[in-house]
Chains A and B, each alone.
Chain A
Amino acid sequence: MAGYSTSEFKSGLKVMMDGDPYTIMENEFVKPGKGQAFNRVKLRNLKTGRVIDRTFKSGDSLEAADVIETQLQYLYSDGEFWHLMSPETYEQYSADTAAVGDSTKWLKEQDTCTVTLWNGAPLLVSPPNFVTLKVTETDPGIRGDTSGGGSKPATLETGAVVRVPLFIDVDEVLKIDTRTGEYVERAKE
């Protein structure tokens, strides 16, 4: 297995530590005048999302983590697993609740997601930055009010609830920014 020494550590590098995959966020070289050199490293645990600081003796190394990012099509959920497929190889993957996390509320069948695979299994499923979803429930729209100002909650077909302008009605299709969870505009069909 390939390894990286501290001098190769840089932001974005995926490594294994204590059995978990991590991504390196920051790496700072520290050295007392005539003593041992160290690297103070900020890492994010790719399974838990937790960010930690660790200091390594310069020259120490970590194993590379077999982590890749790929685009997969979301097929369906059986309640326990979320099933995805590679549009190129047609290979299927199943992601558990931990991997999907908060993304479930944005996942619509056929949408393409960014999936982090670790040892070939989904570690993290991220929805597209923008999704188009139909409104299933909201107070009746107020005709003519397109000036903005007020907003109201709307439930979308995936179960997500977002704030939308007052003129939006049930069955309308909206473009949503999944990174902020905010309404962008009415989707043009």
Chain B
Amino acid sequence: MVKTEVPWRPRVDKKVLEARARLLANIRHFFARRGVLEVETPILSTAAATAPHLHSLVTAYQGPQAPKEGQQLFLQTSPEHAMKRLLAAGSGPIYQVARVFRNGENGRRHNPEFTLLEWYRPGFDHLALMAEVDSLLSLLLGTPVGERLSYREVFHRYLEIDVFTASDKTLARLANAQGFRDGVARGGQARQIYLDFLLATIIEPRLGGERPCFIYDYPASEAQLARIRPPSESCPRPLAERFEVYLKGMELANGYHELCDAVEQRQRFEADLIQRRRRGLSEVPLDEFLLAALEQGLPECAGVALGVDRLLMLQLNSARIEEVLAFPLMRI
């Protein structure tokens, strides 16, 4: 009988390891020159991300200072909460190269464990931070200045609809015509699901072919942790001051003009928990540390999270994320 070989070897050759090391060195150089401080925060937390589409991996600490039954700890889905606590304590501009974990995510561009570059800029809004992301991409990938499109413009350009006034029915018809198959549990989230589908599978592959594409000013319903700009004369509806960055049809980064209001943040967390309950997802504890920090006062700032593995995929022309990971899921 042939013994099957245990695949202990790294999935990638040394060239990829070297490219990753060079990429990280270039990132650190970029921030050092701009006076942004590198920080490290814990990967483990007693609180979890509340967003209904983020699923945490859970672990348990046992030992000194733990209750008898153990202390439930979550692996971070992003270092956002801890970094905001540093900002509230007066850290000034900070960045981190962090290992983050997402349960349930595995595919061509997803691995349950990956590397996120996250940074925060006091005094910046989302537009100023977009410019800095553009500079970083140009340094790392040699890309020209990126294109900027509002969320509304991008739907108009690629699907010829006004995303804010189109009826749910129109969105449903469009999504179904593009191969979306309505499942059973549609519920009250149908509109959002159609929008996510159209953006992620129809529009996204066409974005950022030659240069980065920045999409900004999202619907208020997709604010996540971004602040919402109230309606004004020039714009009659509230918009989330949030942006995403695409290159060669791949989502690279997600940034916010950060919400600093502790009361509103608590309301959004609680709304998330209601959503989670409705979907039958596990209950997660709110991050009271973050809320306390916001109450004390988070400086006006913008922050962004950028996928380092995907940067490397773009640099090396890789079609699959495991081509840039020494040990992807199947080898751990």
Give chain A's interface residues, CB within 8 Å of chain B. Answer: 7, 17, 28-38, 40, 52-60
Judge whether A33 and B105 touch: CB under 8 Å: no
Give chain B's interface residues, CB within 8 Å of chain A. Answer: 51, 53-54, 104-108, 110, 178-181, 183-185, 189, 192-193, 196-197, 199-201, 204, 222, 224, 244, 251, 254
Bound-complex Cα distance A145 to B290 (A): 88
When distances are taken between beta carbons in the complex, the residues of chain B under 8 Å from A30 are 107, 200-201
Judge whether B197 and A38 touch: CB under 8 Å: yes
When distances are taken between beta carbons in the complex, the residues of chain A under 8 Å from B196 are 32, 35-36, 38
Judge whether B51 and A57 touch: CB under 8 Å: no
| Residue from A34, A36, A53 within 8 A of B179 (CB atoms) | A53
Q: Could you write out 5 A-B pairs with CB less than 8 Å apart?
A: A30-B107, A33-B254, A38-B196, A55-B197, A58-B104
Asked if A38 meets B254 with Cβ closer than 8 Å, knowing A29-B107, A55-B179, A56-B181, the reply is: no
CB distance from B322 to the nearest CB of A (A): 13
When distances are taken between beta carbons in the complex, the residues of chain B under 8 Å from A29 are 105-108, 110
Bound-complex Cα distance A38 to B201 (A): 9
Bound-complex Cα distance A31 to B183 (A): 17
When distances are taken between beta carbons in the complex, the residues of chain B under 8 Å from A17 are 181
Asked if A31 meets B254 with Cβ closer than 8 Å, knowing A40-B201, A56-B183, A60-B183, the reply is: no
Judge whether A37 and B104 touch: CB under 8 Å: yes
Total A-B pairs, Cβ < 8 A = 75
Bound-complex Cα distance A88 to B104 (A): 44
Asked if A34 meets B201 with Cβ closer than 8 Å, knowing A54-B181, A57-B183, the reply is: no
When distances are taken between beta carbons in the complex, the residues of chain A under 8 Å from B192 are 35-36
Judge whether B54 and A34 touch: CB under 8 Å: yes
CB distance from B85 to the nearest CB of A (A): 21
Judge whether A36 and B53 touch: CB under 8 Å: yes
CB distance from A5 to the nearest CB of B (A): 10
CB distance from B91 to the nearest CB of A (A): 25
Judge whether A60 and B184 touch: CB under 8 Å: yes
CB distance from B23 to the nearest CB of A (A): 20
When distances are taken between beta carbons in the complex, the residues of chain A under 8 Å from B199 are 32, 35
Bound-complex Cα distance A141 to B30 (A): 79
Judge whether B200 and A34 touch: CB under 8 Å: no
CB distance from B319 to the nearest CB of A (A): 11
When distances are taken between beta carbons in the complex, the residues of chain B under 8 Å from A56 are 181, 183
CB distance from B271 to the nearest CB of A (A): 14
- Closest A residue to B252 by CB, please name it: A33
Bound-complex Cα distance A59 to B186 (A): 12
| Residue from A33, A38, A58 within 8 A of B244 (CB atoms) | A33
Judge whether A55 and B251 touch: CB under 8 Å: no
Bound-complex Cα distance A38 to B202 (A): 12
Judge whether A36 and B51 touch: CB under 8 Å: no
Asked if A32 meets B193 with Cβ closer than 8 Å, knowing A37-B104, A55-B179, A60-B184, the reply is: no
Judge whether A35 and B53 touch: CB under 8 Å: yes
When distances are taken between beta carbons in the complex, the residues of chain B under 8 Å from A31 are 53, 105, 107, 110, 200
Q: A30-B200, A34-B254 are in contact. List 16 more A-B contacts (CB 8 A).
A: A7-B104, A29-B108, A30-B107, A31-B53, A31-B110, A31-B200, A33-B244, A36-B196, A37-B53, A37-B105, A38-B197, A56-B181, A57-B193, A59-B183, A60-B184, A60-B185
Judge whether B54 and A55 touch: CB under 8 Å: no
When distances are taken between beta carbons in the complex, the residues of chain B under 8 Å from A35 are 53, 192, 196, 199-200, 222
- Closest A residue to B181 by CB, please name it: A54
- Closest B residue to A33 by CB, please name it: B254
- Closest B residue to A60 by CB, please name it: B183
CB distance from A54 to the nearest CB of B (A): 5
Bound-complex Cα distance A98 to B251 (A): 45
Bound-complex Cα distance A36 to B179 (A): 16
When distances are taken between beta carbons in the complex, the residues of chain A under 8 Å from B185 are 59-60
Judge whether B180 and A55 touch: CB under 8 Å: yes
When distances are taken between beta carbons in the complex, the residues of chain A under 8 Å from B254 are 33-34
Bound-complex Cα distance A31 to B106 (A): 10
- Closest A residue to B205 by CB, please name it: A30
When distances are taken between beta carbons in the complex, the residues of chain A under 8 Å from B201 are 30, 38, 40, 55
Bound-complex Cα distance A57 to B183 (A): 7
Judge whether A34 and B110 touch: CB under 8 Å: no
When distances are taken between beta carbons in the complex, the residues of chain A under 8 Å from B184 are 60
Bound-complex Cα distance A36 to B180 (A): 13
Bound-complex Cα distance A55 to B201 (A): 9
CB distance from A52 to the nearest CB of B (A): 8
When distances are taken between beta carbons in the complex, the residues of chain B under 8 Å from A55 are 178-181, 197, 201
Bound-complex Cα distance A35 to B104 (A): 13
Judge whether A28 and B183 touch: CB under 8 Å: no
